[in-house]
Structure 1
């Protein structure tokens, strides 16, 4: 489920966020000449779900948005970020778009930067016992995760690193990976994407 609370106590403006996500998904799909059915198949979703999201009536989970971003070949933040980015912007704690994972992990978009150097930053709340399995991001993606509080196991299966406050881990994020909370934890995740094909740096 995607939420857009201005702060933890404010009521979410889900309609505005749902319409924005729907508009962006539609623009990326049509720009690539994909039908609703083709995008749904590529994302492993039903055509009905994709149609509802594009119409602004969907309330997609974090997993659904990851599937769509991967199928469209764009970073997740491209589906969530504001259309215009000011030169200076204060980012209050947990004020970005809120994403709820089925595992219980919650993430807030802190920042998303567009091409050619694409990156996204997320504040993450990871309750004790959470075992969040993340699908592979776009080819060439990397992730850096900084543990702010608690204790976490993070990384590709079989290569997870145990983190305590102040520890960080870097890993190639274009393979499946997981976030397992040994205690109630918070973390900052920074995802770095390669430039689009044909872009000079």
Structure 2
């Protein structure tokens, strides 16, 4: 499966450089540091103060300041709000150089948790120049569903369930999918991902038109 990290190890090892390497493996980069660097870069490009970006994203100024310093714990919801406020793809806040051959192992890569649900999203593949699409690996457990606020206008999400079962789609038109099932739906309306079985895994492609 394609991804954005080569020989990515488990998230528990993400702060260690591989033995014998002269420079850190991109797969070992800490998501907090990646988000901090990207936020500073993109906020500066947009000419926004921390206070103004926080206001547009609907988050606390102190929260944004902590994220930019690398001290905060970014959630899926917060990063979506910030990427929408900046007019960016979600992956722009987890951007790093990509190798020619791209491999990511299960359990590796930058894992971003949801704030209120047992749900994580791992960025697998970022949009290439001139395109607007990102790919993620979603891992979720039964319990509180992950409810997503509307993303930027024109976003379409494509999901294939790899293991388990889930109820997902627009909150007013959800479908139950099992392993091997596929669904697409507009991401610019409120939508939900509700795992119905333990160990539910899905691949999600987000694209914009």
Same fold by TM-score greater than 0.5: yes
Q: Which runs of 5+ in 2 are unaligned?
A: 16-27
The alpha carbon displacement at 1:171 in A equals 0.5
**Segment of structure 1 superposing worse, 13-22 or 66-75:** 13-22
Aligned twin of 1:92: 105
The alpha carbon displacement at 1:189 in A equals 0.7
User: Residues of 1 paired with 2:76 and 2:100: CA distance?
Assistant: 28
The alpha carbon displacement at 1:58 in A equals 1.8
Aligned twin of 1:191: 206
Aligned twin of 2:141: 127
Trace 1:97-116 onto structure 2 (pairs within 5 A).
Answer: 97-101=110-114, 102-116=116-130
User: Residues of 1 paired with 2:94 and 2:185: CA distance?
Assistant: 24
Trace 1:28-107 onto structure 2 (pairs within 5 A).
Answer: 28-82=42-96, 84-101=97-114, 102-107=116-121
Aligned twin of 1:199: none
- 2:11 and 2:111 in contact (8 A); partners too: no
TM-score, structure 1 length as denominator? 0.87
- 2:11 and 2:109 in contact (8 A); partners too: no
- 1:105 and 1:130 in contact (8 A); partners too: no
What is the aligned-residue RMSD (CA, Å)?
1.9
User: Residues of 1 paired with 2:194 and 2:180: CA distance?
Assistant: 17
Please state whether the residue corresponding to 1:71 is helix, strand or coil.
Answer: helix
User: Residues of 2 paired with 1:145 and 1:94: CA distance?
Assistant: 19
